[in-house]
């Protein structure tokens, strides 16, 4: 049993922050405050947990914001680096904590680790409580008629949309604090890149943290949401909420979003439905990951184990650098590099290009996204890559191969998106902006484009690549 600080003072509650970097609608924090005991807010940086470069930048910003907000309530945020299985028991001892509270995570490693930690702490007489904070519904709460998990999104959404979600919890107004606890300094964690500092594009558009999330939500609900159903597919406009990194890090809760949307003008109708349905895809991805943790690395459809992926390093590098010669793909990959985010429509096009035109294994693309996205999320990213590959649950069929030219012409008809991220094509006529190789020589010269010099020729021919991918798919299935 951990020692109490004094006979009169009750032992504190350690509140372990993880992917819930907020005070608003934070059930573990709310419960800790409700005990009336001193609260020790803790964040552990586990070196075993891989966090990509862009996400580390986000985490730094979110932690700064959380620290400032907590300081206003009383207790400072304590930062420690190491394995949670070492740090938590040691801290319990150090401060004589009687309880440890956290909000649940669903990644296979985190689930396993939390189970072990919970029983180790409980054995020592520490009260451990976990709460639901990151999803609309827990992965085991949404069940089919026969009591199992869902494999298909539409019935999952039908079931989820019947739930009634409790009102979000207000942030506590004050917390009693534990005195003089040593903490790491955030800047010593080196979450920000320095040599070189490549984050100017990220800083220009993002404000990590709770306040930034709230502003984005309000701006979206008052603005783009009305037209979300149509504009969400147009990458050249700000037609979506851009809440994904805030949701990933827990700067805001999905339940808060649900209630703000439903309570807004138009939010109870079609505009709100269309948006909340997308939000539910996030829950669905987590539902799949929780019930089938192997989807992180294994094909959901095991027949894809026989797919003849190609290890094409040069083509992979051209894809990462946004130099494939297909403007919509290149614009997306450069948006990702510059801003840490890519529009959903273009994520699908760029992923499809890597998997089908270049026949590179979807896992390699997923890893690149995890290193470069500010919203990199194991569940959503892996489920989405499998969805595009055709190997996933409820996936797009492999034989549906996006034509990057037609996709560009359909969703970026005036070429605004390409112009924004591929400046060397900015002066090209909209008619050719998605297929510069078909433009008359004079038009190219007038626009300052020299193919193969200022902008690459396509690294593969669409028709040839399509036939190659389809043949590989037929071979895999054993049809000849
Ligand atoms: P909005 O359209 O405003 O949607 C609101 C929220 O709903 C999003 O913030 C997100 O949390 C959720 N959402 C929207 N679309 C999807 C979707 N298709 N699947 C799951 N949830 C969705 N999203 C991530 O958050 N992290 C990832 O690592 C990630 N990787 C992806 C990889 C690929 C190959 C693809 C095709 C999609 C990926 N997505 C990922 C899903 C989607 O592209 C982003 O969630 C979306 O673009 C975020 O922008 P937004 O916040 O403006 O979305």
Encode pLDDT of 93-127 as tens digits: 999 999 999 999 999 999 999 999 999 999 999 99
Q: Is 157 tagged catalytic?
A: no
Which pLDDT score is estimated for 5? 47
Please tell me the residue having the least CA distance from ligand 1 atom 32: 381
Residue 64 — very low, low, confident or very high, per pLDDT cuts 50/70/90? very high
Q: What is the pLDDT of residues 267-303, one digit of tens each?
A: 888 889 999 999 999 999 999 999 999 999 999 999 9
Q: Please name every residue paired with 45 in a beta bridge, in sequence order, or none if there are none.
A: 81
Residue 92 — very low, low, confident or very high, per pLDDT cuts 50/70/90? very high
Q: What is the mean pLDDT of residues 184-208?
A: 95
Q: What is the pLDDT of residues 428-458, one digit of tens each?
A: 999 999 999 999 999 999 999 999 999 999 9
Q: What is the mean pLDDT of residues 226-237?
A: 96
List the 39-45 sheet strands across, edge first. 78-81, 39-45, 13-17, 99-103, 127-131
Say if residue 4's pLDDT is above 50.
Answer: no
Query: Is the distance from the beta carbon of residue 246 to the nearest atom of ligand 1 less than 6 Å?
Result: no
Query: Is the distance from the beta carbon of residue 296 to the nearest atom of ligand 1 less than 6 Å?
Result: no
Contacts of 66 (CB under 8 A, 6+ apart): 17, 21, 22, 23, 43, 77, 209, 210
Which pLDDT score is estimated for 479? 67
Query: Is the distance from the beta carbon of residue 282 to the nearest atom of ligand 1 less than 6 Å?
Result: yes
Q: What is the CA radius of gyration of the chain?
A: 24
Catalytic residue among 362, 368, 370, 387: 362
Q: What is the pLDDT of residues 340-350, one digit of tens each?
A: 999 999 999 99
Q: Is 278 tagged catalytic?
A: yes
**Domains in the chain, start-ordered, CATH in brackets?**
13-133 (3.40.50.620), 135-166+208-291 (1.25.40.80), 302-477 (1.10.579.10)
Provide the angle, in degrees to the nearest 10, between the axes of the packed helices 344-352 and 404-411.
Answer: 170
Query: Is the distance from the beta carbon of residue 349 to the nearest atom of ligand 1 less than 6 Å?
Result: no
Say if residue 317's pLDDT is above 60.
Answer: yes
Say if residue 54's pLDDT is above 70.
Answer: yes
d(CA 167, CA 27): 12
User: In 3-state terms, what secondary structure has residue 249?
Assistant: helix
Instruction: Please report the atom of ligand 1 found closest to the CA of residue 375.
Output: 26
pTM for this prediction:
0.97
Provide the angle, in degrees to the nearest 10, between the axes of the packed helices 254-262 and 210-222.
Answer: 30
Token representation of residue 90: 């040691």
The overall average pLDDT reported for the chain is: 95
Q: Are 88 and 95 in contact (CB under 8 A)?
A: no
Say if residue 20's pLDDT is above 70.
Answer: yes
Q: Is 249 tagged catalytic?
A: no
Catalytic residue among 206, 249, 385, 387: 385
Q: Are 83 and 45 in contact (CB under 8 A)?
A: no
Instruction: Please report the atom of ligand 1 found closest to the CA of residue 241.
Output: 3
Which pLDDT score is estimated for 480? 53
Q: What is the mean pLDDT of residues 370-395?
A: 95
Give 176 Cα–ligand 1 centroid separation in angstroms: 38
Query: Is the distance from the beta carbon of residue 351 to the nearest atom of ligand 1 less than 6 Å?
Result: yes
Instruction: Please report the atom of ligand 1 found closest to the CA of residue 370.
Output: 28
Residue 9 — very low, low, confident or very high, per pLDDT cuts 50/70/90? low
């Amino acid at each position: 049993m951990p020692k109490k600080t004094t006979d009169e003072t009750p032992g504190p509650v350690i509140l372990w922050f993880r992917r819930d970097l907020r005070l608003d609608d934070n059930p573990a924090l709310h419960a800790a405050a409700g005990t009336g005991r001193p609260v020790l807010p803790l964040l552990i940086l586990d070196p075993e947990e891989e966090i990509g470069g862009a996400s580390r930048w986000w985490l730094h910003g979110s932690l700064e914001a959380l620290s400032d907000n907590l300081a206003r309530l009383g207790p400072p945020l304590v930062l420690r680096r190491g394995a949670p299985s070492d740090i938590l028991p040691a801290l319990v001892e150090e401060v004589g904590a009687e309880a440890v509270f956290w909000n649940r995570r669903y990644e296979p490693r985190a689930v396993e680790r939390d189970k072990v930690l919970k029983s180790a702490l409980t054995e020592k007489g520490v009260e451990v409580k976990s709460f639901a904070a990151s999803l609309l519904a827990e992965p085991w709460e949404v069940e089919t008629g026969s009591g199992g998990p869902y494999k298909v999104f539409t019935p999952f959404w039908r079931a989820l949309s019947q739930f009634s979600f409790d009102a979000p919890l207000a942030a506590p107004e004050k917390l009693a604090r534990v005195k003089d606890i040593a903490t790491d300094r955030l800047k010593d964690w080196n979450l920000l890149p320095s040599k070189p500092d490549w984050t100017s594009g990220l800083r220009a558009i993002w404000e990590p943290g709770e306040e930034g999330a709230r502003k984005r939500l309000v701006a979206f609900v008052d603005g783009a949401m009305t037209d979300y159903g149509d504009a969400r597919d147009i990458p050249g406009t700000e037609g979506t909420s851009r809440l994904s990194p805030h949701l990933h890090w827990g700067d805001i809760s999905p339940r808060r979003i649900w209630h703000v949307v439903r309570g807004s003008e138009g939010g109870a109708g079609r505009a709100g439905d269309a948006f909340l349905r997308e939000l539910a895809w996030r829950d669905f991805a987590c539902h799949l990951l929780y019930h089938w943790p192997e989807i992180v690395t294994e094909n959901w459809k095991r027949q894809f184990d026989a797919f003849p992926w190609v290890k094409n390093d040069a083509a992979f590098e051209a894809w990462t650098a946004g130099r494939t010669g297909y403007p919509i793909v290149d614009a997306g990959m450069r948006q990702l590099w510059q801003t840490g985010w890519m529009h959903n429509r273009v994520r699908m096009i760029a992923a499809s290009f890597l998997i089908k035109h270049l026949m590179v294994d979807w896992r390699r693309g997923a890893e690149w996204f995890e290193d470069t996205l500010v919203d990199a999320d194991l569940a959503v990213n892996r489920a989405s890559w499998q969805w595009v590959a055709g190997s996933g649950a409820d996936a797009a069929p492999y034989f549906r191969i996006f034509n990057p030219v037609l996709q560009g012409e359909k969703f970026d008809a005036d070429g605004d998106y390409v112009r924004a991220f591929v400046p060397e094509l900015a002066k090209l006529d909209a008619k050719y902006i998605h297929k510069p190789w078909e433009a008359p020589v004079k038009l190219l010269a007038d626009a300052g484009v020299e193919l193969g010099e200022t902008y690459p020729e396509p690294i593969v021919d669409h028709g040839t690549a399509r036939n190659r991918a389809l043949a590989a798919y037929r071979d895999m299935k054993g049809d000849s």
